[in-house]
Amino acid sequence: MGAPAFPAADVTALSDIGSHFMQLALAAGNRALPACLPNPPVGCVLVRNAEAIATGSTQDPGKDHAEAMALTQVPGWLSDA
The domain segmentation of the chain, as residue ranges, is: 14-74
81 has a pLDDT exceeding 70: no
- Bridge partners of 46, per DSSP, are 54
This prediction has a pTM of: 0.73
Q: Distance between CA atoms of 32 and 81, rounded to whole angstroms?
A: 25
pLDDT value of residue 26: 95
Pick the CATH number of 14-74 from 3.40.140.10, 3.40.50.1220, 3.90.1150.10, 3.40.50.300: 3.40.140.10
12 has a pLDDT exceeding 70: no
| pLDDT band at residue 10 using 50, 70 and 90 as cut-offs | low
